[in-house]
Chain A
Amino acid sequence: MTKADVLGFCQRYARNRAALVALGVLVAIVAVAIAGPHLLRQGGPFELAGPPFQPPFGRFALGTDMLGRDELVGLVYGARTSLVIGLAATLFATLLGVLLGGIAGYYGGGADEALMRLTEIFQTIPSFLFAILVVAILSPSIESVIIAIAVVSWPPMARLVRGEFRSLADREFVQACVSMGMSDLRVIALHILPNCLSSIIVTGSLLVATAILTESALSFLGLSDPNVMSWGFMVGAARDFLQRAWWLCAIPGVAILVTVLAINLVGDGLNDALNPRLRHL
């Protein structure tokens, strides 16, 4: 990749105004997630900081919840949880999807048929119920939530990678590599994979958004690590007090919405910038 490539990429990305704004928002959220906990009062998100049900814009910027925990502190720690789980689950799902889709697409034949049938079955299974089951059985922890989300989100990635690999495997430059006696692994790693990396990145970025939504729904239902604060858990815990303190439900929900929206828009922008030949309708 040359300097001109990078510059062209940035220019194409910047042409999408919404994606540019979304990138700024996302950078801010990531900064809060990384630095936020160090800037706040020590004691963590579960500390009882003051009297319960303090409304926002008083002594506490966003008020306190029904137990007197600082809402702002919870929000900052929740950003960390959402991003870590979203990224880790997507990473595992991508690895699994690339592995299975790659084998199916490159080798074709029986392996392709069997793996695609498996992918289809996993797409039929009600994925959120499956995730619930996995977390419930492994007992809720940050690892089990990551595993559950990864296990339900690899099929689209596998289908994408399989399609890309299939069309690339027939191309002349790949055929040339094979006839030169290059090993399969070398052909895949050095010649096929780099050529479908842009599609993988775009799909992966959308998977992060879905993973964050899934994590929030799981933690809303009470399936989150009891030692880690998360946005979905905050909404779920405040649910019974909707009438008395509606902002306790509203604020973390807005945080989820803004984060997911920003990631989706960044994904769109990446798509425009990485696949300029594809017209985005």
Chain B
Amino acid sequence: MQVARGRARYIGRRLVQAVPTILVIVTINFLLVHLAPGNAADVLAGESGSATPQYMAYLRHQFGLDQPLYVQYLDYLKNVVTLELGYSFREGMAVRDLILQRLGPTLLLMGTTIVLSIGVGMLLGLVAAGRPNSLRDSAISIFALVAYATPLFWVGLMFILLFSIELGWLPTSGMTNIAAFYTGWRKVADVARHLVLPALTLSLFYMALYVRLMRSSMLEQSGMDYVVTARSKGLTERAITWRHVLRNACLPVVTMAGVQVGNLLGGSVVVETVFGWPGIGLLAFRALFARDLNLLLGIFFVAACLVIAVNIIVDVIYSVLDPRIRLR
């Protein structure tokens, strides 16, 4: 009960701390639009020349371009904070609804990627650290080194080439088989089949990161005094690794996973584009293609908020793993 109340208070405090971050992001958005060469309405409408006079007038009104700059800023701030992100004429929908509609697939892809990359990454790191400088260790380290240097979009395309085009095992793109109207478990299986390649592609880079981190963290921890104590108590090596070292060695990985959430969202733009996965990343690519900057700004804002939320969740998980950390 006490713990639960402390945790609730902590989350509340973290939400308050998130306010300056959100302010900075909104300010960046505002500055970007106004620093860009040319009239802000032109910038937002893009260069494709398809903007109607009504749309331009709407943009001028949306951003209050006929007002003094500080009024524009305050108006913009008010709009964004109340999630009034404007209307996308190109997609024919309110920006907020567009983003909310596509949040699900992105969260599914991100969640799968986080679980996969942390799970496999920690496991491989553990195996590599078990016998340092062995053949097993070298093989895992080389895999991590190569995966760490590979561009995501290229891995995705090569996976499509191998698993979809050559072997025909998995679908090339999308989230569901549009032709077949699956329901229930068959629909779940269908989505899962579509999810395999995008999740694998996005995981690879982060897996490499966590393998390296986990390996060095395990090696560092196994030299600590408490390990010597445990050994002199007569505990088996297995018990020492699983009950003492592992728990401590996980902490840097969890911290890093929190830091990487923002990058994961960036990576999902590329991966969703390659696999036609209908999430926020693909929406961002379409906005880019149509030069719909207002939509792009909205996506950026929502993505940043998502990162803040995930970071708070990660910190709470961290406090469960490590009771020494007080929720302050």
Contact = CB atoms under 8 A, between A and B. Distances in A.
A261 B262 contact: no
A134 B266 CA distance: 14
Majority secondary structure of chain A interface residues (helix, strand, loop or mixed): helix
B315 to A, nearest CB: 12
A221 B32 contact: no
Given A137-B32, A222-B288, A257-B151, A126 B157 contact: no
Contact of B150 (A123, A130, A257, A265): A257
A127 B165 contact: no
Interface residues of A, number: 44
A117 B20 contact: yes
B21 A133 contact: no
Interface residues of B, number: 55
B267 A128 contact: yes
B300 A130 contact: yes
A220 B21 contact: no
Given A221-B285, A235-B153, A261-B145, A126 B265 contact: yes
B115 interface: no
Contact of B262 (A126, A209, A253): A126
Interface stretch (A83-91, A172-180, A185-193, A242-250): A242-250
A93 to B, nearest CB: 16
Given A117-B20, A243-B165, A127 B263 contact: yes
**Most B C-beta atoms less than 10 A away, residue of A129, A134, A221, A242:** A129
Nearest to B43: A137
A136 interface: yes
B262 A125 contact: yes
A120 to B, nearest CB: 8
Interface string A122-151: 011111111111101111000000000000
A121 interface: yes
B220 A217 contact: no
A79 interface: no
B153 A217 contact: yes
